[in-house]
Amino acid sequence: MSWDGGLRRQGDDAIQLAHYRRMLEACGREAPVNLGGIIGTEAHVTWHDLDEQKYRTPPADPSAKTKRRSAMERYDFEFGFRIDIADTATRATGPDDPLLLVEPMRSTECAGCKWDGYCSPIIEADSGDVSLLPRVSYQQWRRLRNNDIRTRQAQSFSVGSLFEPSQWQPFRMALIEFTVVRDFAASSQVLWDAMIDWPGHGDWIPATRVVVDSGTGTEVGETFTGYTGYGPILLVDRMRVNAIEWNETTGHGSCEVEKLGPVLKGQAGFVVTGDSERSHLEWFERVTVPYLPQLLAPVVNKMGAAGFSFGMRSLAKSLERAR
Ligand code: SF4
């Protein structure tokens, strides 16, 4: 991982520095340059150029390309958006008033949030918000909402109708879906670093090598490709980072990638939790495989899960050796 990539992964630090920068400006104590330093536990200062456009940010229009922005630009956008949220909420006092700009969704942050008492009854009303389904990322939640799918019940009807054709076109495509979990005798930071080291996956996933195609492969929109197999029998698996989030303080991180084909299409990702001693990984795959009869899906599910379990055993051994 390059130094620049390491700094980009500390994007939350840069946003915090941008916040201090704006506060210093407000009281007329700002420095002439947008530069901030963080003193870490290693007693080193890590300097962030807050004007450097190094953070890839998703566009408002999902079909548009991602764009690199600076920490100051990200901060100003996020801060302005929060003011708009509060402004709209104070004006929304009745059914004819403007719609709220944000709605509650279940996330890992809810447990420690003081607004949980307000949000939970809304999230859990009726059959429950779609965010209560396991492993629904913000991007997936947003897509479902954009298609007016808001509740778990509506989502189950939607998924049902989506896969109905497989009943009468059994050789067209199969849905492969499995989750593998494992505990590791390594800190969550060590496990997280290993998981986002895409080329490093080749060390523990059998017959696989991974090449990062754009950036470091650790920012939203960046891509990488997995090659699994030997000689001419090679499965090419192109992927794009849909969402990635690491919280150093809580030791919690999650990453979701979109499988772009040419064979496997769908989503995959993982969640890392733990502390400075132990960690836990939950890895999921939800992909479609063309030309595979759906009736063989359970067999392929088991094979896929077994393959990943084997890979995780290898990863666990290598992390333990490195301790
Ligand atoms: S409790 Fe509400 S405000 Fe807090 S993180 Fe959850 S949805 Fe957001």
Of 6-20, 120-134, 252-266, least confident by mean pLDDT is 6-20
Question: Are the C-beta atoms of residues 177 and 309 closer than 8 Å to each other?
Answer: no
- Atom 1 of ligand 1, nearest CA residue: 116
- Mapping DSSP to helix (H, G, I), strand (E, B) and coil, where does residue 81 land? helix
Q: Compute how many other C-beta atoms are within 10 angstroms of the C-beta atom of residue 215.
A: 20
Question: Residue 76 above 90 pLDDT?
Answer: yes
pLDDT score at 270 = 92
Q: Among 143-147, 172-176, 259-263, which range has the highest average pLDDT?
A: 259-263
The pLDDT value given to residue 199: 92
Distance between CA 52 and CA 73 in Å, rounded? Answer: 10
* Residue 163 backbone phi and psi in degrees, to 5: -100, 5
Question: Cα(117) to centroid of ligand 1, in Å?
Answer: 9
Res 291: pLDDT: 66
What is the pLDDT, as a whole number, of residue 62? Answer: 55
Handedness of CA 135, 137, 140, 145 (dihedral sign): positive
Q: Which pLDDT value is given to residue 114?
A: 92
Q: Which residues line ligand 1 (CB under 6 A)?
A: 104-105, 107, 109-110, 113, 115-116, 119
Residue 126 is predicted with a pLDDT of: 83
Name the most confidently modeled range: 37-41, 158-162, 220-224. 220-224
Q: Which of 106, 107, 142 to mutate to test the pocket of ligand 1 (most atoms within 8 A of CB)?
A: 107
Q: What integer pLDDT is reported at residue 250 of this predicted model?
A: 87
Question: What are phi and psi for residue 222, nearest 5 degrees?
Answer: -80, 155
Handedness of CA 308, 313, 318, 320 (dihedral sign): positive
For residue 245, pLDDT beyond 70:
yes
Q: Which of 94-98, 115-119, 273-277 has the lowest mean pLDDT?
A: 94-98
Q: Are 198 and 210 in contact (CB under 8 A)?
A: yes
Question: pLDDT higher for 96 or 195?
Answer: 195
- Ligand 1 pocket mutation pick from 110, 123, 138 by most atoms within 8 angstroms of CB: 110
- Residue whose Cα lies nearest atom 3 of ligand 1: it is 115
Confidence check: pLDDT of 3 > 50: no
Tokens describing residue 224: 């990488």
Region 120-147: what's the mean pLDDT? 80
Least confident of 25-39, 53-67, 192-206: 53-67
Return the residue whose CA atom lies nearest to atom 2 of ligand 1. Answer: 119
Cα 315 to ligand 1 centroid, rounded to whole Å: 34
Predicted TM-score of the model (pTM): 0.51
Domains in the chain, please, with CATH? 3-84 (no CATH), 105-161 (no CATH), 171-322 (3.30.530.20)
Mutate to test the pocket of ligand 1, among 103, 105, 109 (most ligand atoms within 8 A of CB): 109
Q: What are the pLDDT digits (tens) for 301-322?
A: 677 777 788 888 899 988 887 7
pLDDT over 60 at 5, yes or no: no
| Residue whose CA is at the smallest distance from ligand 1 atom 7 | 104
**pLDDT (0 to 100) of residue 57:** 79
Contact (CB, 8 A) for 216 and 202: no
Q: Whose CA is nearest to atom 5 of ligand 1?
A: 110
Per-chain mean pLDDT for the chain: 82
Percent of the chain with pLDDT over 70: 84
